Amino acid sequence: MAKAAATNLSNCLAILAVFAINISGSTADPDPLQDVCVAGSRHHPPPSSKTNVYDEDPTSKTAGGYVFPGHGSTDATHMAASNATTNGTLTGVVCTDPRLLSAADFTFQGLNKAGNTHNTLGSSVTAVNAKTFPGLNTLGISFARIDFAKNGLNPPHVHPRATEVLFLLEGDLSVGFIAGDNKLFSHNLTTGDLFVFPKGLIHFQQNIGNKNAISISAFNSQNPGVQQIVEAVFASHPSLPDELLELAFGLNKEAIRSIEIDLKSLSI
C-alpha cells in the first residue's frame, strides 16, 4: 500500500518534472528580470534616500525586484545595472518608473473595433504587441485581432519569434501551416475552434464562409515579428537579382515584373 503510494508519488513527480521542462523549453522570450517593465520613460525625480538597486524588500516603494535607474547609489556595479536598465538593453526600451504605474498601464482598449478590410486581400490584422501595448514589455506574450471580408486572405507569412494560437470568434476559416518537410497541415475551422501555428513555420488563413470572419490570436512573444513570404522574396530592398529569381522560381523577367507590380497594388 505504502509502496504503491510512493510509486504513484514518484510517477507524479516525474510527470511534473517533464511538464516543467516542457514549459521552460517552450518559452519564446527570455524570462523577465523584474515584475514589470512597462515600456516608457515617465520618471520621478530620483529619491533622496539611498536605495540598493537590487532591493527586493516588499515594503520598499519599488515593485518586486524592479531595478529603477539612478537610485542615488554611486556604486560602480549598481551604476552599470542602472545604465543597462535605463538604456533598455534587455528589450530595447526604457522601463517606466513603477511608482507611476496604474491599472491603465496594463489595459488595452479598442479590439472591439473591426479592422478595415477594404483592401486587395480583404483582411486586416490589428496587432497588440509591446509596441502598441507597452504593458506587455518583458512578459513574453502578445495578441492580435484579424478581420476577414468574404474570401479575405491573410497570405502566407511567418512569425520568426513566436508560436501563434488562433481562436475563431466568428465565421469559417481555412487555415494551415507548412512543416519543415513541406507537409501541409490545413483545416477548415468553424466558430469556436482553435488552431496552433508552430513558431517560424509558413502559415495562412482565408475566409471560406459566406460572411465576415473574426479571429483572435495569442503569441508567446511580446514581439512575434511578421515576414510576408511573397514580399520578402519579390520586394526586398535592395531587390534580389533577376537572375537569382529566374533560376530559383523558373520565371522570366516579364513574370518577375508582373509579380512586383501586383505586390505594389497590394501594399500589405
Ligand X SMILES: *[C@@H]1O[C@H](CO)[C@@H](O)[C@H](O)[C@H]1NC(C)=O
Q: What is the contact surface with ligand X in residues (CB under 6 A)?
A: 79-80, 83, 86-87, 174, 186-188, 208
Q: For ligand X, give the closer residue by CB, 10 or 186.
A: 186
* Contact in structure between 144 and 194 (CB atoms under 8 Å): no
Closest CB to ligand X among residues 86, 228: 86
Q: Is residue 129 a contact partner of residue 181, using CB atoms and an 8 Å limit?
A: no
* C-alpha cell at position 186: 490545413
CB of 19 to ligand X, least distance (A): 32
To ligand X, the closest distance from the beta carbon of 90 in angstroms equals: 13
192 vs 250 by CB, closer to ligand X: 192
Of 79 and 266, CB closest to ligand X: 79
Measured from the CB atom, is 74 or 102 closer to ligand X?
74
d(CA 253, CA 242): 7
Place of cell 497570405: 155
Could you please report the per-residue DSSP string of 186-254?
EEEEETT-EEEE-TT-EEEEEE-SSS-EEEEEEESSSS---EEHHHHHHS-SSPPPHHHHHHHHT--HH
Q: In the complex, what is the shortest distance from the CB of residue 81 to ligand X, in angstroms, rounded to a whole number?
A: 9
CA 170 – CA 89 distance, rounded (Å): 40
Cis check: omega of the bond before 238, within 30 degrees of 0 = yes
